[in-house]
Amino acid sequence: MNALRRHRALTRIWASAPGWKGWFTSVNHTDLGRMFLTVAVFFFLVGGILAMLIRAQLATPRSAFMGPETYNQVFTMHGTIMMFLFAIPFFEGLAVYLLPKLLGTRDLAFPRLTAYGFWCYVFGGSMMIFALLAGIAPDSGWFMYPPLSSTIGAPGINSDFWLIGITFVEISAISAAVEITVTILRYRAPGMSLAKMPIFAWYALVTAVMILTGFPPLILGSILLELERAFGMPFFQVAQGGDALLWQHLFWMFGHPEVYIIFLPAAGAISTILPVMARTTLMGYGWVVAAAVSLAVLSFGLWVHHMFTTGIPHMGLAFFSAASTLVAVPTAVQIFAWIGTLWRGRPGLHLPMMWLLAFFATFVIGGLTGVMVAVVPFDWQAHDTYFIVAHLHYVLIGGFVFPMLAALYYWMPHFVGRKTYFKLGGVAFWLIVPGFHGTFLLLHWAGLLGMRRRIDSYGPGQGWEIINLIASVSGFVMAIGFALVLIDVIINAVTAIRGSRDPWRAGTLEWAMPTPPAAYNFASLPHVDSRDPLYADRELPVRLARGEGYLGDPARGRRETLTVDIATGAPRTIVVFPGNTALPVLMSAVTGLFFLGMLVKDYWLVPISALGVIGCALAWVWSLGRRAPEGPLDAGRGAVLPVASEVADPPGWWGSLFLLLADGTFLGSLLFGYAFLWTIAPNWPPPAYAEPGPAALALVLAGAALTAVGGRLGALAGVAAALAGTVAVGLAALAVLAQVPDPAAHAYDATVWVLVGYALLHQVVALIMMALVAARRWAGHSAVTRRGAARVARLWSDYAALVALLAAAAVGLPGVLA
Amino acid sequence: MSTILRLSLPLTLWLASFSAVYGLHGLLCSSRWTGPDGRWPLIAAALLALALQGALLALIATRRWPEPEPTLHRTSLILAVAAFVGTGWTLMPVAFVSHCL
């Protein structure tokens, strides 16, 4: 088969449906990556317009441009959109588009999950935009501190839009994180060991794991605050045993890692682009990987530095001040590695390189002001002033937007397959960078002169007028620059002439394919022996197009790729991907109904849509795998490999493992919150602790054991055991809840209800999974094709059993100790 | 997974011990704490954390937990050293700062 025939055959197999139908049924990562990026840019424009409204309001003292109610919505939505609807989804879009190409594979691990996450993002984001247009947008700040965001401070539906809309959008982040993690660990080109992985993949892996462990505290906080607002469960009400500071802990356990979740992908792009621009390789690859991992983990130990002014004891302040200064070390390691790379190479001043230089200048300033606010006495002075606003914009725009502009111009020839000309982009650069510094450098001074954050207007004579006027004019200059970037991208995408395959002469695999990329990425999968495969073998793209790699023969007529061993990159299995389907968009729409029911308080819609989601999920899983085993298949280059659905650790098992990491973090956050209230909150102990008693504890023990054993039995006996386990745990739950019948009475009672609900939910999930495994047996699936699914069900049943035991211990312990 | 564990374990241990010492500090300074007062439990916890980090560093440095890939061996060693130093630096306040003020 020649290259052209192979291309046509593979395109028939992998392409999305033509026309508008393709938008809703595509599960292809290239299409979905582009869609993600386009929607994220749309939200960036909306957030940018809101920023301009803020600057228009603050340009002069006593401005009447907006009233305080409108201003509160505008600045809240600016922060919310930029953080949740632009920065994170832009990374997801870039990773969705790039990762399989960088890793030398044909798609992400779970193509339908990519589509589901995308549509959850679109629907959740639309919910927020609707609120903005309707004038009922959140108005309590993007951090939503209670009691400002409680029913006392925000009685309308505004805060509910934030709590429910953002939780909906976070499904997208968790989905993307699971599949980025599994893809990087298992879906690489054969031979690509961890040490030969492109540096962007390391950053993406670290970021994805951070999303899995950083987002659950916020999801928990949002659920608890919504439960308080909707049902009066007083988690944050001091009078009833709650504490508003609990929200700050949960929020910043997410919020500080979030800064690094935003920065690290940008650092990954820098580490990829900079060596190409400098015509060399990255200096200190191992050190850079270590710095990325260090930054990721250290960032989870910094959350209290956002709370230095809340009355925390000195030793607590010292812990987090020390940790905050520590984080400068790995950041500096990266900066020096990049400077060393530039020093070693011969940098060319192309537009991506200019954006990287802008990043250096800006981010270093942001990092240094970060060290200043890590020092407690300084933070006490600068906290809640425009100094902090200036600092965070230096970090986020300097550390994310500028590198992403470098990435945009670097990969644009790949996105559109055209030779780019950057004249307009150069003009935009000279508007954005000085405009940015004109806006935010001066705002440091405004903060030091005492200008508070979030104020909607200010009086004259405080020395802030000229600063704010210059900041506003500069802000508009920056906005014109961003508009030029958009026009530049559109012009390039539409009118530029066809470009060459590898315009930058880079070494990574995304340039080993024709651009714009075909739906299948690689006509055959490469065997990788080097960190920069194209530097090692310039003929590689031609040989891959000729079908000389793995899976070069499309004769089986289905979407296939390979999984590899995590460490060594040795090929392990052949994965068969699903085809185009509308199931993800349908399932995300039904998920949207679930959230909509909660938002508008039509609670009848919630269980119905929950059943709908379960139905969609079952239809989703049911179509996986074949009834009869296929046995080992030819994978090309002499490799004969089993199909992934017939081995003990299929991709779904890995996906479940990492989803459980997020789930476990959620439970850990809940237990932390419980312990926090127990030790710190005023108005404890509650009037009475629940005391489960020996009978209820015996029921929990028996229930957990039956659930765990059920996961090992399989088929009918397993389902019966899990059902009995669920009933036992359910009876114990009823006995406990009878002792605390009113979840609105005290924060303790409310926490017990949430713990019990969480345990029961996982019992039901495990039961459904085991029932599905049994149903597959009845439907004629062989023992071999059921093996992977059974192990997935066992993973969830073990977790459900563990949760039941932990919840019982957490509920019963305070009563025992008292 | 062994490689991933070797890379992630030292700093994860730092995060766990740092959070645990902070939690212990919260408990000891809580008005509900009725046990013995003082900073010694905090110092003991910090020393335990440091000892665990030292043991992990020794395990990784002496190749008792071998990593065949030299780049990743060096990276895991850097991370183990960073976690050891980080533990000492971030838990140092237990010895020098007033604990419940």
Residues B4, A287: C-beta atoms closer than 8 Å: no
Given this model, what pLDDT does residue A818 score?
Answer: 73
Integer Cα distance of A497 and A623 in angstroms: 43
Chain B hits for A322, CB-CB cut-off 8 Å, are 89-90, 92-93
Integer Cα distance of A235 and A670 in angstroms: 11
| Whether residue A777 has pLDDT greater than 90 | no
In degrees rounded to 5, what are phi and psi of residue A427?
A: -60, -45
Residues B78, A290: C-beta atoms closer than 8 Å: yes
Structure confidence at residue A742 as a pLDDT band (50, 70, 90): very high
Of B15, B30, B75, the CB nearest to A289: B75
Query: Is the CB of residue A161 less than 8 Å from the CB of residue A131?
Result: yes
Integer Cα distance of A781 and A779 in angstroms: 6
Whether residue A741 is preceded by a cis peptide bond, meaning omega within 30 degrees of 0, is no
| Whether residue A785 has pLDDT greater than 90 | no
Integer Cα distance of A394 and A302 in angstroms: 19
| Whether residue A725 has pLDDT greater than 80 | yes
Structure confidence at residue A456 as a pLDDT band (50, 70, 90): very high
In degrees rounded to 5, what are phi and psi of residue A93?
A: -60, -45
- The residue assigned the tokens 């425009």 is A386
User: Of A293, A302, A649, A684, which to mutate for an interface test with B (greatest number of B Cβ within 10 Å)?
Assistant: A293
In degrees rounded to 5, what are phi and psi of residue A274?
A: -55, -50
Given this model, what pLDDT does residue A440 score?
Answer: 97
Residues A566, B4: C-beta atoms closer than 8 Å: yes
Nearest-Cα distance to chain A for B100, in Å, is 6
Query: Is the CB of residue A49 less than 8 Å from the CB of residue A475?
Result: no
**What is the percent of chain A with per-residue pLDDT over 90, rounded to a whole number?**
86
Outline where A527-639 has alpha helix (H).
Answer: 533-536, 540-545, 583-599, 605-622
| Whether residue A783 has pLDDT greater than 90 | no
Integer Cα distance of A565 and A159 in angstroms: 46
Given this model, what pLDDT does residue A787 score?
Answer: 85
Given this model, what pLDDT does residue A577 score?
Answer: 95
Residues B100, A194: C-beta atoms closer than 8 Å: no
| Whether residue A154 has pLDDT greater than 90 | yes
Q: What digits encode the pLDDT tens for the residues A349-367?
A: 999 999 999 999 999 999 9
Nearest-Cα distance to chain A for B88, in Å, is 10
| Whether residue A578 has pLDDT greater than 90 | yes
**Nearest chain A residue to B15, by CA:** A301
**Nearest chain A residue to B87, by CA:** A323
In the predicted model, what is the mean pLDDT of residues A19-37?
Answer: 95
Integer Cα distance of A443 and A258 in angstroms: 23
For chains A and B, CB pairs below 8 A equal 106
| Whether residue A683 has pLDDT greater than 90 | no
Asked if A195 reaches chain B (Cβ–Cβ under 8 Å), the answer is yes
Residues B101, A313: C-beta atoms closer than 8 Å: yes
Structure confidence at residue A685 as a pLDDT band (50, 70, 90): confident
Nearest-Cα distance to chain B for A284, in Å, is 10
Chain B hits for A314, CB-CB cut-off 8 Å, are 97-99, 101
In the predicted model, what is the mean pLDDT of residues A3-29?
Answer: 94
| Whether residue A50 has pLDDT greater than 80 | yes
Of B1, B22, B75, the CB nearest to A316: B22
Residues B75, A313: C-beta atoms closer than 8 Å: no
Nearest-Cα distance to chain A for B71, in Å, is 6
Query: Is the CB of residue A245 less than 8 Å from the CB of residue A680?
Result: yes
**What is the percent of chain A with per-residue pLDDT over 70, rounded to a whole number?**
100
| Whether residue A817 has pLDDT greater than 80 | no
Structure confidence at residue A234 as a pLDDT band (50, 70, 90): very high
Cα Rg of chain A, angstroms: 27
Nearest-Cα distance to chain A for B48, in Å, is 17
Q: What digits encode the pLDDT tens for the residues A80-138?
A: 999 999 999 999 999 999 999 999 999 999 999 999 999 999 999 999 999 999 999 99
| Whether residue A527 has pLDDT greater than 90 | yes
Structure confidence at residue A39 as a pLDDT band (50, 70, 90): very high
Outline where A196-313 has alpha helix (H).
Answer: 199-231, 244-277, 285-298
Of A238-252, A407-421, A752-766, the one with minimum mean pLDDT is A407-421
Query: Is the CB of residue A739 less than 8 Å from the CB of residue A790?
Result: no
- Tally of CB atoms within 10 A around B45: 18
Query: DSSP code of A766?
Result: H
- Tell me, what's the ipTM? 0.95
Given this model, what pLDDT does residue A793 score?
Answer: 92
Q: Provide the token pair at A366.
A: 């942001």
**Conformational region of residue A313, where left means phi above 0, alpha means psi within -120 to 50, and beta covers everything else:** beta
Given this model, what pLDDT does residue A148 score?
Answer: 93
In degrees rounded to 5, what are phi and psi of residue B39?
A: -95, -5
Nearest-Cα distance to chain B for A655, in Å, is 14
CB proximity list for A450: less than 8 A, separation 6 or greater: A385, A462
Nearest-Cα distance to chain A for B90, in Å, is 5
Chain B hits for A323, CB-CB cut-off 8 Å, are 18, 86, 90
**Conformational region of residue B69, where left means phi above 0, alpha means psi within -120 to 50, and beta covers everything else:** beta
Q: What digits encode the pLDDT tens for the residues A648-673?
A: 889 999 999 999 999 999 999 999 99
- Tally of CB atoms within 10 A around A599: 21
Of B11, B12, B93, the CB nearest to A319: B93
In angstroms, how far is CA A710 from the centroid of its own chain? Answer: 33
Of A314, A329, A567, the CB nearest to B101: A314
Structure confidence at residue B98 as a pLDDT band (50, 70, 90): confident
Given this model, what pLDDT does residue A492 score?
Answer: 86
Asked if A661 reaches chain B (Cβ–Cβ under 8 Å), the answer is no
> A173 or A496: whose pLDDT is higher?
A173
Given this model, what pLDDT does residue B64 score?
Answer: 78
| Whether residue B37 has pLDDT greater than 80 | no
Per-residue buried b or exposed e for A24-46, using 16+ beta carbons within 10 Å of the residue's own CB:
bbbbbbbbbbbbbbebbbebbeb
CB proximity list for A511: less than 8 A, separation 6 or greater: A414, A501, A502, A504, A534, A541
Integer Cα distance of A474 and A455 in angstroms: 20
Residue A9: half-sphere exposure toward Cβ, Cα within 13 Å = 19
The residue length of chain A stands at 818
Q: What digits encode the pLDDT tens for the residues A614-625?
A: 999 999 998 888
In angstroms, how far is CA A78 from the centroid of its own chain? Answer: 19
Coil/strand/helix, residue A685? coil
